Amino acid sequence: MSTTSRVLELTEVEENLRTLLIDVAEYIDNSPGHVSESQVPLPDELARQPLVLRWTGGWVRDKLLGVASHDIDVAINKMTGFQFGLRLKEYLEIPGNPEKYGLEGVASNDAQSKKAESGKSKIVGGLHKIEANPEKSKHLETVTTKILGLDIDLVNLRKETYSDDSRNPQMEFGTPEEDALRRDATVNAMFYNINTREIEDFTGKGHNDMASNIIRTPLEPYQTFKDDPLRVLRLIRFASRLNYTIEPEARNWMKDDEIKSALQAKISRERVGVELEKMLRGPDPLMALNLIDQLTLYSTIFSDPAQDQSKVFTPDTDNWNVVVNFVQDILSSKASEILVRNDEERFLVWLLSALVPYRDAPSPPTVEGKKPPPPTASTVAREGIKATNNMCTVITNSVKNHSEISMMVSDSNGRKRPAREELGMAIRRWGSTWRSQTAFALLVNVADEPSAAKSHLSAFTNFLEFVRELDLLEVYALKPILDGKALTKALGVPTGPWMKDALDVVMRWQLRNPGKKDTSEAIEQVRIAREQSPTPGELTSDLMTYFLQLTIRPLFAKTQTQQVTSQGRKVQTTVLPKKFERTQDEVTWKGRDSYALDLLRWAIAVADAGLVEKNWHAIVPPLLSMLDDIDTEYKAQGCELLKLLLDKTPPTLLKRTGLGDVFEEALMPCLGYLPTLTPEDQSARLLSVAYPALLSLSAVLEDSSTIQNKQEPSQRIKLLDALIRKGILMTFTYCPEHAKITAATTTYLSAILNALGLDSIKHLPFILPMLSSILTNPFITASPPLLLSSVKAVQAVVLNTWPRLYVHKTEILKCVSVPWIRMQEDVSGKDFDIVKEESIIVVQMLRDALSSDELEKDIEELIKVDKRLEGLFSD
């Protein structure tokens, strides 16, 4: 349709609406009825005029341009929009009236109002009154409704009177001419009189300006912008939407400092944001941003109005026009296939381009104890244009990640490209908006180096193709093969702060092995029970390394041992003991951080010899810290874990690192935690784990290839000798009356003697009297565990000292005869039956070792003395 046409051709729906509105106007004129009160007084001469309705503004403009429009503003000459809306509703509630227009009535509830939103609905939507709100640039109450799928705004014709310090006008009923002249542009100031079907151009310039593609203010520009500075942004929006040229005089005043100051002072930032968003979502954002640049409006729009502009960071806009123009290059390039998939991402890339000048703004200071503030660009967006939380998040992430993204792009274009898991984890860190953030990084590179814009685009395009080649475009949404619950169950460790990063380790494994999608396989890899999979898998190795290096080590940092180097070797120089000043707060692996011990236990449990050697430097220090702790329970756990480690440690590793002595020095003091200074239960617990750890240590010290001098006992033999002298014998000397303690020592005496073999003979004069003292005690049957462990210890004595037993055969016979008789007296039960069986074995071992008639004579004499011994000595 011609822009100079004086007649408009209506669609069927528009024609139906026109008929309805004319009938309602006639109904009101013929039956004035009750008119609700209004904030705007109605002049008497206007009250006597007939009701005239006009369709205004954008609908008329778009109709002349041949553009379909579903929004119609209805201007009313002598009623407010709310008053007319009530009468419209009243008219349609009269039976038979809706049907005249193919309608079914007015919505009376929310469900019907929602149904009216449909373009095919025959229900008239409910009336929605929008109150006047000058702070939001809403100067007069209006009513919105939905009729025949069209969005209808009802408002009265008005004139406005402005004050110097506000864009909020005094509102009065006005003539069509006054209403037209108050508008922002002549092309938006034409009316369609539905009574006469004529287009009314009261400014006298609307048709000509549309024909000439010009944006012009109806009145003198200075006063137009002074009255309402928001019109500056509206003109930019309409110019970019219609591809019109802003009239030169208006352009001059739009960049005037006084007008810009008024725009900052009088306009709500919400309205600034609304206008900017409409520009960036419109058909030509590039033109809009170029106009903002040309009119020197950047700092007026993109700034935090709450800050003193003379004291804040000044954005560098020298190359901004290059940046915004380059966005068009991106959108027309191959990269846009990946970067800009939809209208939302298109909007975001334009928005981010507008904030590139803030790329190098200093970070706001962080307040101790509080979350770091967002970057300046995000604050400007939030406060300057009232960007949504989602928009601000994208901006924050873009500023925060652009350096990393650029580095990843550079690496992807180099000889050694990033591994799939490295790139995948980076994109997961960047999140679902990584495409927009990548576009921002590209624009930052262009802003910093405009002459290399094409090469930057080529590099980023290659990067995006690389991402697609690795099938990582949607990796941010990839579901982990293991969730937190499954991982903690597989590890056998309670939840804790470690979980998030551990799941990242799992995700890395998943990215490295894209074909592995079986959850059960991943669970099996990290499970502690390893009977069917003795070799740790790749995922297990990754998790172990992560836990030891990044989770456990920091928690033990304040209790780090001084005996071991960072490489896991023995410190060779003399180190002064550290001043004892540890407090409970410093020991961070205790209490709420005790999950570190569970993770450490898991790591050692799943490791094989290879993983032990690989992570030796990270495993040993925490164990030594535990052994050095003042709490006996942590010492006990340290002993358990060290035994678990030593059982997997190659002897060559222990020799190479020189830590045998260090472990011995850490473990031996545990044998001295005895009653009464240490409660009996705690002492028994510690001894029951310290001896096995020391025995495991002795086993790793065994290295026959190093034993050259047979005259000098090996380090292993020296340790086992010390266990008997400083452990077994010393413990019995100091607390023979504590059955639990004695049971713990005699239990491990057997293992020590078996490890010594014939080297046990030198200890026979001391061990045998101790065992005799224990087994001949009148109350020995009160402790079956002690009785059993002592009898088994006698077996070990016979087995390992048999060359000298002839001299001690009487003492051996005493050790089994006295408790046998006591068991015959008043005790019975399964425990004592086992002891009897083991006692019989002692006698048989003794017979096998000596095979002498003299022994048999001694046995016969014993039976003569007490017939109850027949069961012990019977063949």
Give the range among 161-175, 322-336, 541-555, 715-729 with minimum mean pLDDT: 161-175
Residue 211: name the closest of 82, 37, 61, 70 by CA. 61
Q: Which residues contact 761 (CB under 8 A, 6 or more apart)?
A: 800, 801, 803, 804
- Gap between the Cα atoms of 408 and 397, Å rounded: 16
Which of 418 and 493 is assigned the larger pLDDT?
418
Give the range among 26-30, 161-165, 644-648, 734-738 with minimum mean pLDDT: 161-165
Give the range among 120-124, 508-512, 605-609 with minimum mean pLDDT: 120-124
Gyration radius of the chain's alpha carbons: 46
Pairing of strands 198-200, 128-130: unpaired
153 in the same domain as 57? yes
Confidence of residue 531 (pLDDT cuts 50, 70, 90): very low
Residue 297: name the closest of 248, 347, 348, 263 by CA. 263
Which tokens sit at 673? 């935690």
Q: Among all chains, which residue has been given the structure tokens 């700034």?
A: 303
- Gap between the Cα atoms of 764 and 809, Å rounded: 12
Whether residue 396 lies inside any domain: the answer is yes
Whether residue 180 lies inside any domain: the answer is yes
What φ, ψ does residue 479 adopt, rounded to 5°?
A: -80, 130
Which tokens sit at 42? 């109605």
Confidence of residue 586 (pLDDT cuts 50, 70, 90): low
Listed ranges 464-468, 673-677, 804-808, 867-871; the one with the highest mean pLDDT: 464-468
446 in the same domain as 400? yes
For the CA atoms of 334, 338, 344, 346, the dihedral, rounded to the nearest 10 degrees, stands at -20
Whether residue 127 lies inside any domain: the answer is yes
Which tokens sit at 763? 């200890």
Residue 754: name the closest of 698, 800, 801, 803 by CA. 800
Q: How far is CA 569 from the centre of its chain?
A: 37
Whether residue 568 lies inside any domain: the answer is no
Residue 336: name the closest of 438, 425, 483 by CA. 438
Alpha-carbon distance values, 372 to 100, 270, 363, 365 (Å): 63, 25, 9, 8
Q: What is the pLDDT of residues 65-74, one digit of tens each?
A: 999 888 999 9
CATH number at residue 118: 3.30.460.10
Confidence of residue 529 (pLDDT cuts 50, 70, 90): very low
**Residue 500 burial (CB count, 10 A):** 9
- Calculate mean pLDDT across residues 845-874: 89
Residue 316: name the closest of 292, 295, 298 by CA. 298
- Gap between the Cα atoms of 753 and 761, Å rounded: 9
Answer yes or no: is pLDDT of 175 > 60: yes
At residue 669, the pLDDT reads: 95
275 in the same domain as 150? no
Q: Among all chains, which residue has been given the structure tokens 């002072």?
A: 265
338 in the same domain as 290? no
Confidence of residue 518 (pLDDT cuts 50, 70, 90): confident
Residue 758: DSSP 8-state: G
Q: Which one of 301, 320, 352 terminates a domain?
A: 301
Answer whether 777's CB lies under 8 Å from 823's CB: no
For the CA atoms of 721, 726, 729, 734, the dihedral, rounded to the nearest 10 degrees, stands at 180
Q: Which one of 477, 507, 527 terminates a domain?
A: 477
| Buried-exposed string 528-559: b where 16+ CB fall within 10 A, e elsewhere | eebeeeeebbebbbbbbbbbbeebbbebbeeb
Answer yes or no: is pLDDT of 425 > 70: yes
Answer yes or no: is pLDDT of 580 > 80: no
At residue 163, the pLDDT reads: 58
Give the range among 266-275, 694-703, 810-819 with minimum mean pLDDT: 694-703
- Gap between the Cα atoms of 178 and 703, Å rounded: 107
If you count DSSP H runs as helices and E runs as strands, how many of each does the chain have, helices first? 43, 13
Would residue 435 be called left, alpha or beta, if left means φ above 0 and alpha means ψ between -120 and 50 degrees?
Answer: alpha
At residue 3, the pLDDT reads: 55
At residue 4, the pLDDT reads: 55
At residue 740, the pLDDT reads: 92
Number of domains present in the structure of the chain: 4
Q: How far is CA 364 from the centre of its chain?
A: 23
Answer yes or no: is pLDDT of 396 > 80: yes
Whether residue 108 lies inside any domain: the answer is yes
853 in the same domain as 804? yes
**DSSP letter for each residue of 124-182:** EPPPEEE--BGGGTB-S-EEEEEETTEEEEEEE-EEEEEETTEEEEEEEE--HHHHHHT
Answer whether 398's CB lies under 8 Å from 437's CB: yes
Q: What is the pLDDT of residues 464-516, one digit of tens each?
A: 999 999 999 999 999 988 888 888 888 888 888 888 888 888 899 999 999 88
Q: What percent of the chain has pLDDT over 70?
A: 90
Percentage helix, strand, coil, to 5, in the chain? 60, 5, 30
243 in the same domain as 127? no
- Gap between the Cα atoms of 753 and 37, Å rounded: 108
- Gap between the Cα atoms of 199 and 186, Å rounded: 13
Confidence of residue 327 (pLDDT cuts 50, 70, 90): very high
Q: Which residues contact 634 (CB under 8 A, 6 or more apart)?
A: 590, 626
38 in the same domain as 107? yes
- Gap between the Cα atoms of 280 and 282, Å rounded: 5
Tell me the torsion sign for CA atoms 854, 856, 857, 862.
Answer: positive
Residue 526: name the closest of 590, 606, 611 by CA. 606
At residue 807, the pLDDT reads: 87
Q: Which residues contact 59 (CB under 8 A, 6 or more apart)?
A: 69, 71, 72, 73, 192
Answer yes or no: is pLDDT of 646 > 80: yes
What φ, ψ does residue 55 adopt, rounded to 5°?
A: -95, 135
Residue 227: name the closest of 171, 188, 156 by CA. 171
- Gap between the Cα atoms of 289 and 294, Å rounded: 9
Helices 519-526, 498-512: inter-axial angle, 10-degree rounding: 120
Confidence of residue 675 (pLDDT cuts 50, 70, 90): very high
Confidence of residue 289 (pLDDT cuts 50, 70, 90): very high
- Gap between the Cα atoms of 811 and 773, Å rounded: 10
Largest CA distance in the chain: 147
- The length of the chain is 875
- Gap between the Cα atoms of 761 and 768, Å rounded: 11
Residue 505: name the closest of 480, 528, 488, 524 by CA. 480
Answer whether 548's CB lies under 8 Å from 604's CB: no
57 in the same domain as 175? yes
At residue 530, the pLDDT reads: 45
Q: Which one of 280, 301, 322 terminates a domain?
A: 301
Mean pLDDT across the chain: 88
Residue 352: DSSP 8-state: H
Identify the bridge partners of residue 153 per DSSP, sorted by sequence position.
73, 144
Residue 68: name the closest of 154, 183, 143, 150 by CA. 150
What φ, ψ does residue 310 adopt, rounded to 5°?
A: -80, -10
Tell me the torsion sign for CA atoms 167, 173, 178, 184.
Answer: positive
Whether residue 112 lies inside any domain: the answer is yes
Which of 122 and 789 is assigned the larger pLDDT?
789
Confidence of residue 705 (pLDDT cuts 50, 70, 90): very low
586 by Cβ neighbours in 10 Å (0-12 / 13-18 / 19+) ranks as exposed
Whether residue 418 lies inside any domain: the answer is yes
Q: Which residues contact 656 (CB under 8 A, 6 or more apart)?
A: 569
148 in the same domain as 64? yes
733 by Cβ neighbours in 10 Å (0-12 / 13-18 / 19+) ranks as exposed
Answer yes or no: is pLDDT of 726 > 50: yes
167 in the same domain as 48? yes
- Gap between the Cα atoms of 487 and 484, Å rounded: 5
Whether residue 530 lies inside any domain: the answer is no
Strand, helix or coil for residue 198: strand
- Gap between the Cα atoms of 405 and 413, Å rounded: 12
Which tokens sit at 494? 């309670």
Which tokens sit at 13? 């729906």
Q: What is the pLDDT of residues 339-385, one digit of tens each?
A: 999 999 999 999 999 999 999 999 888 888 788 899 999 999 999 99
Answer whether 450's CB lies under 8 Å from 322's CB: yes
- Calculate mean pLDDT across residues 190-199: 95
Amino acid at 247: E
Which of 35 and 759 is assigned the larger pLDDT?
759
What φ, ψ does residue 333 adopt, rounded to 5°?
A: -100, 175
Which of 247 and 598 is assigned the larger pLDDT?
247
466 in the same domain as 444? yes
Domain span at 354 = 330-477
224 in the same domain as 208? no
Answer whether 743's CB lies under 8 Å from 786's CB: yes
